[in-house]
Amino acid sequence: MAASALTQIPGIGPHTAALLEAAGYETVASIAGADVEALASVRGFAVARAAQVIEAAAGLAEPTPPKAETPKEVAPVSSEAGEKKTPRKVKRANRKRRKELKKRRKELLGLLSDAADKLTKAKAKKKRKKLKALIVDLEAKLSKTERKLAKLD
């Protein structure tokens, strides 16, 4: 059996790579773009480990080439239905998406704050472990939301 590219990710050995490939994750980039909950559903992965592996994979994934400057006059973009999207429609859609992402970021920050407060008050080791995993998951989601917002700006 040939060595998997997934073994480049810290903490992923041949056995785990085989499990990930069986679950449909065949490249480092596919793991870097994976959702924490989806990766946590793979045997041997908890939410905390999934978040760590995604973060490590994102560090190894090929950097995206820099975006070319967009011209002032943007050509209409075709949508799936065949209608042309004018620059005004694109701007409107981007504004709407930015608003949704900012709302999501605010929700995640609130959830993160609540989880951190609960963690400081939790006494049971099991409860603290679950809260730490939740915090890692929320931080990963927040990071993903921040990246999407940055792309729109």
Q: Which CATH code for domain 5-60?
A: 1.10.150.20
DSSP string, 34-75: --HHHHHTSTT--HHHHHHHHHHHHHHSPPPPPPPPPPSSPP
Provide the residue-wise pLDDT of the chain in tens; the chain has 153 residues.
456 788 998 888 899 888 888 888 888 888 988 888 888 888 888 888 888 898 888 888 755 444 444 444 444 545 455 556 678 888 888 888 888 888 888 888 888 888 888 888 888 888 888 888 888 888 888 888 888 888 876
Contact 21, 3 (CB under 8 A): no
Q: How far from chain centre, in Å, is Cα 129?
A: 22
Strands 84-85 and 77-78: antiparallel
Question: Which residue type does 120 have?
Answer: T
Report field, pTM of the whole predicted structure over 0.85: no
